[in-house]
């Protein structure tokens, strides 16, 4: 197989959901059906987050709903997203946040409505909620017949037949559903009962008349979400979902760089770093940088250019995750996610490419953190370690680092999406860098990047509690206590443009 064929058959997607909707379960079941699925690091949301923390932090926080920016970043590496929704709950807060990122990138979104083997909300109501809240169209590829104890299966709208769910499917590894045409009334009576059958005919009539037409271009533009109903736990609906998903998604798409779009089929290797994971091994302060390959073929023995560092180097210990196993690889292709050993040189968003063909990818947006603290080292002699530690941890994207302009690094403001990240920071500085810190939480809850300003930031007309800071790219930001002061800043300073995320371009 030549490298073009290799690229052609790849699909790179992210599975996202509010915690507990069933992302991990669905991922496991997809692995069962689609033998060749590779996991990029910790796709397992809740389960792995808990695991990763307890591994090196001896701090177990079961059910902790802390949310890190990693989830957002995974979406930047994917070409499409699968959004898992709990049928009893519908859209939940984290689903909303994640959807925003998908919408910003215009990537296709597939919806898997899960847990139909339990009591569920009315499917029409769920469709309406998706359309209203997210402003996209929905196209139910199949339709549920009952739920909970009365869950009988789904109706496949394209094939016009029923896939029946049987109680004995529970717990089996792989099931083949029973297929039956909608016109086979005798068999239908037997499989789902007369009442359910009547209700189904009514539902389908309504759906066919009132729902969006299927339009593949709209799906690929992220404007129409194909919806599937199922139960990941019992494997029901997973196989048809995978089949449809594969036929509707595309092979790796071109990616934007400062030099124009990069064609995935291009011969020259290029990739960008979207996630950095600190190594669990305390003795070696090394990390794994995960990168998405955007074009060409990666070869283990070749040297590549790390654009931001300005150095040509071999990527050491290149690896991929296959199910739960990590394996060293010799080659990889556009669309693949690989992890490489990082001696502390990479930052989120960095480009690695063929030395002869230099490109630089669009950075990964940084999202506005919601919690802020001022930190400083207890022992002033340890300033160097402190600066190095905070900077490295910020490079990994575990926290964001800000400072007051012209103030040096004595006091650093750190921001995080979830408060648990501050504890992680404190612990890691102590254990990996041998630095104790003082931490004082700040009352700010909002931060905005200054996109455009009519004056120097310190000359703006701002509420008295608004504060000017810079990030470690040197960009100007404003810290606010409440939305009221944001509005004040915008209203009192004509021409001031603020943004909730930084494109890091
Ligand atoms: P997450 O990654 O999105 O956080 O969700 P995860 O897959 O861990 O699933 C959360 C819980 O929901 C798990 O139960 C899981 O077994 C259950 N679940 C997932 N899919 C289905 C489904 O289709 N039907 C039903 N009834 N349950 C489902 P748990 O009790 O929290 O964990 P466990 O002890 O079962 O692992």
Q: Please identify, by atom number, the ligand 1 atom nearest to the C-alpha of residue 18.
A: 3
- Ligand 1 test: best mutation among 17, 22, 147, 235, most atoms within 8 Å of CB? 22
Question: Please, are residues 264 and 250 in contact by the beta-carbon 8 Å criterion?
Answer: no
Distance 231 CA to ligand 1 centre (A): 10
Highest-pLDDT range among 60-64, 92-96, 109-113, 364-368: 109-113
Q: What is the pLDDT of residue 71?
A: 73
Residues with CB under 6 A from ligand 1: 17, 19-25, 45-47, 114-115, 117-118, 231-233
Structure tokens, 121:
């909300």
Distance 158 CA to ligand 1 centre (A): 29
Mean pLDDT score across all residues of the chain:
86
Q: Please identify, by atom number, the ligand 1 atom nearest to the C-alpha of residue 45.
A: 2
Which strand ranges, in their side-by-side order, compose the sheet holding 161-164?
142-145, 153-156, 161-164, 178-181
Distance 271 CA to ligand 1 centre (A): 34
Distance 232 CA to ligand 1 centre (A): 8
Q: What is the pLDDT of residue 170?
A: 54
Q: How far apart are CA 284 and CA 315, in angstroms?
A: 18
- Ligand 1 test: best mutation among 18, 19, 20, most atoms within 8 Å of CB? 20
Distance 337 CA to ligand 1 centre (A): 26
pLDDT at 415 over 90: yes
pLDDT band at 161 (very low <50, low <70, confident <90, very high): confident
Distance 128 CA to ligand 1 centre (A): 25
pLDDT at 169 over 80: no
Domain 365-503 maps to which CATH number in 3.40.50.300, 3.10.180.10, 3.40.140.10, 3.30.70.3280?
A: 3.30.70.3280
Taking residues 166-172, what's their average pLDDT? 56
Written out in words, the top-level CATH class of the domain with range 255-353 is mainly beta
Distance 326 CA to ligand 1 centre (A): 25
**Vertex 161 angle, CA 217 and 155, to 5°:** 70
* Domain 20-64+79-248, CATH: 3.40.50.300
- Ligand 1 test: best mutation among 25, 64, 92, most atoms within 8 Å of CB? 25
pLDDT at 173 over 50: no
Q: Whose CA is nearest to atom 25 of ligand 1?
A: 115
Q: Whose CA is nearest to atom 21 of ligand 1?
A: 233
Q: How far apart are the first and last CA of the chain?
A: 36
Q: Whose CA is nearest to atom 26 of ligand 1?
A: 115
User: H or E segment at 320?
Assistant: strand 319-322
pLDDT band at 251 (very low <50, low <70, confident <90, very high): very high
Torsion of CA 121, 127, 132, 136, to 10 degrees: 150
Q: How far apart are CA 40 and CA 329, in angstroms?
A: 14
Nearest CA among 409, 398, 386, 395 for reference residue 309: 395
Domain extents in the chain = 20-64+79-248, 255-353, 365-503
pTM as predicted: 0.82
Torsion of CA 250, 257, 365, 355, to 10 degrees: 100
Lowest-pLDDT range, 23-32, 35-44, 295-304, 457-466? 35-44
Structure tokens, 410:
């004595």
Q: Whose CA is nearest to atom 24 of ligand 1?
A: 115
């Amino acid at each position: 197989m030549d490298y073009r064929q290799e690229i052609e058959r790849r699909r790179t997607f992210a599975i996202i959901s509010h915690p507990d909707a069933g992302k991990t379960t669905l991922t496991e079941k997809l692995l069962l059906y689609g033998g060749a699925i590779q996991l990029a690091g910790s796709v397992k949301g809740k389960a792995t987050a808990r695991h990763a923390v307890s591994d090196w932090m001896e701090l177990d926080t079961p059910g902790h709903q802390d949310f890190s920016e990693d989830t957002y970043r995974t979406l930047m590496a994917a070409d499409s997203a699968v959004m898992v929704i709990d049928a009893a709950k519908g859209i939940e807060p984290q689903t909303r946040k994640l959807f925003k990122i998908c919408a910003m990138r215009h990537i296709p979104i597939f919806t898997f409505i899960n847990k139909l083997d339990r009591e569920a909300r009315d499917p029409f109501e769920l469709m309406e909620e998706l359309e209203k809240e997210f402003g996209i169209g929905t196209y139910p590829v199949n339709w549920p017949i009952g739920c909970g104890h009365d869950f009988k299966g789904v109706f496949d709208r394209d094939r016009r037949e029923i896939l029946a769910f049987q109680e004995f499917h529970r717990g089996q590894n792989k099931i083949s559903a029973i297929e039956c045409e909608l016109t086979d009334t005798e068999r239908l009576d037997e499989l789902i009962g007369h009442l359910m059958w009547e209700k189904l005919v009514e539902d389908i009539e309504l759906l066919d008349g009132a729902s969006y037409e299927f339009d593949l271009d709209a799906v690929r533009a992220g404007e129409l979400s194909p919806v599937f109903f199922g139960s990941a736990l019992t494997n029901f609906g997973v196989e048809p979902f995978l089949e449809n998903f594969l036929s509707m998604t595309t092979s790796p798409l071109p990616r934007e760089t400062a030099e124009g779009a990069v064609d995935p089929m291009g011969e020259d290797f290029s990739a960008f770093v979207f996630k950095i994971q600190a190594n669990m091994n305390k003795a070696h302060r090394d990390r794994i940088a995960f990168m998405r390959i955007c074009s060409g073929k990666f070869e283990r023995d070749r040297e590549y250019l790390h654009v931001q560092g300005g150095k040509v180097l071999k990527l050491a210990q290149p690896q991929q995750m296959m199910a739960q196993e990590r394996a060293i690889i010799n080659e990889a292709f556009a669309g693949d996610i690989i992890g490489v050993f990082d001696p502390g040189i990479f930052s989120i968003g960095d480009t690695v490419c063929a030395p002869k063909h230099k490109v630089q990818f669009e950075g990964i947006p940084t999202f506005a953190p919601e919690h802020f603290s001022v930190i400083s080292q207890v022992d002033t002699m340890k300033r160097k370690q402190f600066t190095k530690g905070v900077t490295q941890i910020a490079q990994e994207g575990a926290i964001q680092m800000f400072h007051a302009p012209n103030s040096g690094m004595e006091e650093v403001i750190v921001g995080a999406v979830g408060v648990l990240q501050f504890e992680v920071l404190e612990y890691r500085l102590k254990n990996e860098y041998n630095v104790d810190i003082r931490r004082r939480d700040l009352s700010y809850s909002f931060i905005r990047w200054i996109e455009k300003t009519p004056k120097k930031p310190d000359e703006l007309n701002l509420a008295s509690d608004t504060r000017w800071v810079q990030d470690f790219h040197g960009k100007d930001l404003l810290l606010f206590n409440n939305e009221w002061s944001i509005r004040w800043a915008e209203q009192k300073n004509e021409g001031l443009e603020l943004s909730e995320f930084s494109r890091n371009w």
